[in-house]
């Protein structure tokens, strides 16, 4: 597995909150899915409320 750095933003009460997270995944698509599940569960947000701007290999 490779490590990917994913950055983006999600909706919060005060507008959009930026984030940058490192995740381990087999490819970029799985890294995106991992971010949707992680950020969604931690902040109680749906996929439509999360915007991924960049996925890069760390």
Domain limits of the chain?
Answer: 2-57
pTM of the predicted protein model: 0.89
Is pLDDT at 1 greater than 90 in this prediction?
Answer: no
Q: How many CB atoms lie within 10 A of CB 20?
A: 10
Which tokens go with 22?
Answer: 């490192």
Collapse the DSSP code of 13 into the 3-class scheme (helix H, G, I; strand E, B; otherwise coil) and give the result.
coil
**Does the pLDDT of residue 30 top 90, yes or no?**
yes
Phi, psi of 42 (to 5 degrees): -70, -35
Confidence tier at 42 by pLDDT (50, 70, 90):
very high
For the domain spanning 2-57, the CATH number is 3.10.20.10
Angstrom distance (rounded) from CA 1 to CA 41:
23
């Amino acid at each position: 597995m490779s490590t990917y750095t994913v950055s983006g933003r999600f909706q919060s009460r005060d507008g959009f909150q930026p984030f940058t997270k490192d995740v381990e995944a087999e490819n970029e698509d799985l890294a995106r899915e991992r971010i949707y599940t992680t950020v969604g569960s931690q902040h109680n947000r749906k996929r439509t409320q999360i915007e991924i701007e960049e996925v890069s290999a760390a």
